[in-house]
Amino acid sequence: MRTQVLIIGGGATGTGIARDLALRGVHCVLAEARDINAGASGGNHGLLHSGGRYAFTDPEAASECREEGNILKRLAPHCIEETGGIFAAVEGDDEAYAADFGSYCQKAGLSATALDPKDAREMEPVLSEKVIAAWQVEDATIDPFRLSLDNMAHAVSLGSQFLRRTKVTGFEREGGRITAANLVETRTGREVRVEADVIVNAAGAWSGEVAAMAGGHIEMLYAQGTLLITHSRMSQRVLNRLRKPGDGDILVPGGTVSILGTTSVRVDKLDDIRPTIDEVDRNIDEMLPLIPSLETTRYVRAYAGVRPLVKSGGSGSDRTVSRGYTLLGHEDEGLDNFITITSGKLTTYRLMAERTADLVCERLGVSEPCRTRTEPLPQASAARWTEPGVAPKIWLKGHERDDHLLCECEMVPKSAVDEIIDSLNTENGVTPGLKAVGRRSRVGKGSCQGAMCGLRLTGHMYDRGIYSGPDDLNGLREFIGERWRGKRSILWGPQLAQAELQEAIHCGLFDLELRTEKGSGEE
């Protein structure tokens, strides 16, 4: 395979780079070891930052968030809900910080309006009666899966290629140039060789490992963050504790649910990232003073992501490491055509992609300017099913008589699954599985967490001829195993009863014991 640019990593930044370069007429191949947003881009809380969270600790990053957030609201409104946000302090919080918050925002060029505590509680009734100070900011929420899927779909429509489940195993180097990358399809074992003029390493937390294969060096820090998903939406706005960034200090509405987070725990390895009971408890305990009802809220799932941070000296908390991005040309390591982009935030993905594409074009001798700052992001039809609550709206407007629901919790119909499968069949011949469908829709994300829809979806895959023999039931095992990873740390109350029912059905009735694959980071 021959291309101008090989991009490694299918998160928001990698897919953003692919679209940016495609708009400049540069041909790209994007290779992802697992699937779209399998790393940090799929393990975050979906917050489109106003910048308020970093106004005190990192004002430069806060300003970038404000500017990029405004660009995305204008060019990708279908991915965004402009919820607004509230920062609120309760009795016992740092009153000086609460009083000075507005000045911190002003210095960073952010909008922040003081609220009377009573008005804040009327706006968001879940807030505690012990609120002593509140500020209104321009936070919003964004669907990271639709964002990346739309970016990749647009890049592919312009001639780029997407290699899903294709992992880099090494590079061929002549002097200071990488001449080719060696990859392998993780499902089939088929080897792929890609010749490229420039290699872009956008592998997130795995950037250090990819750079090492090329002869480069990046000293990475890994900070795991655990988040919880509530059964229903608890607030209309993003709710933040009015204090310096810490654990369990934000509740983000996401369609029909809310997301509570997040922790920051240093980890040394990336092969077993999963939410822990301690982090779950910490998130709830830290936010309880602001939102007392969290103590009795039903949680349907927890999940964990890893922040890829670049070490820059010092030994302070991971919270103090800049959330700005790192762009490396690796010239000082004798590499002429290898580029790494890592760290940063979801909100600033477009800027990171632009700066990376600028450097790529400089090395290719391409003079076309960036267009993602002004050109709207097109909506890919198959990507629309990721938004919570959107499937019922579409299905209830009208559907064919035989278009029955495969996922009743989230009301995902057969037609949606077929649309997703058909879109996946255009990608490098890798057979789509249940996890790929789940990543592109709300299947399995409701209160039953795949207990019922997993079986229906598997049956549909057999009906379509995608699955054929008993070995294909491993797809159901993988799908249920991934959902189990998110349930094991929140098993109390109704969700415990739900898990017992799921075990009775899948293990007791169908004898589908789960198998853990060590080293893959997945079950």
Q: Residue holding tokens 């809380």?
A: 45
Q: How far is CA 128 from CA 26, 51, 253, 288, 295, in A?
A: 53, 24, 18, 9, 13
Q: How far apart are CA 512 and CA 281, in angstroms?
A: 30
Does the pLDDT of residue 288 top 50, yes or no?
yes
Q: In the prediction, which pLDDT does 319 show? A: 44
Fold classification of 47-142+221-310 is D-Amino Acid Oxidase; Chain A, domain 2 (3.30.9)
Cα–Cα distances (Å) from 89 to 53, 96, 107, 281, in that order, read 14, 11, 21, 21
User: Looking at domain 2-40+145-219+323-364, which of 1.10.357.10, 3.40.50.620, 3.50.50.60, 3.30.750.24 is its CATH number?
Assistant: 3.50.50.60
Segment 479-503, tens digit of pLDDT: 998 888 899 999 999 999 989 998 8
Range list of H helices, 3-123? 12-23, 59-75, 95-107, 117-123
Q: Are 457 and 406 in contact (CB under 8 A)?
A: yes
Q: What would the DSSP string read from start to end of 361-373? A: HHHHT--PPP-TT
Sorting pLDDT into bands at 50, 70 and 90, what band is 274? very high
Residue for token pair 């639709």: 146
What percentage of the chain has pLDDT greater than the value 90?
81
User: Would you say residue 135 has pLDDT above 70?
Assistant: yes
- What gap in Å lies between CA 261 and CA 283, rounded to an integer? 6
**What is the Rg, in whole angstroms, of the alpha carbon atoms belonging to the chain?**
23
pLDDT tens across 172-216, in order? 999 999 999 999 999 889 999 999 999 999 999 999 999 999 999
Asked if residue 315 has pLDDT above 80, the reply is no
What does the pLDDT look like over 138-183, one tens digit per residue? 999 999 999 999 999 999 999 999 999 999 999 999 999 999 999 9
**How confident is the model over 85-128, as pLDDT tens digits?**
999 999 999 999 999 999 999 999 999 999 999 999 999 999 99
Answer whether residue 321 shows pLDDT above 70.
no
Confirm whether pTM is higher than 0.85. Answer: yes
| Helix residue ranges per DSSP H, 90-164 | 95-107, 117-123, 144-157
In this structure, the dihedral spanned by the alpha carbons of residues 233, 237, 243 and 247, taken in order and rounded to 10 degrees, is 30
pLDDT at position 427 = 55
Structural domain spans, the chain: 2-40+145-219+323-364, 47-142+221-310, 381-509
Same fold, 2-40+145-219+323-364 and 47-142+221-310: no
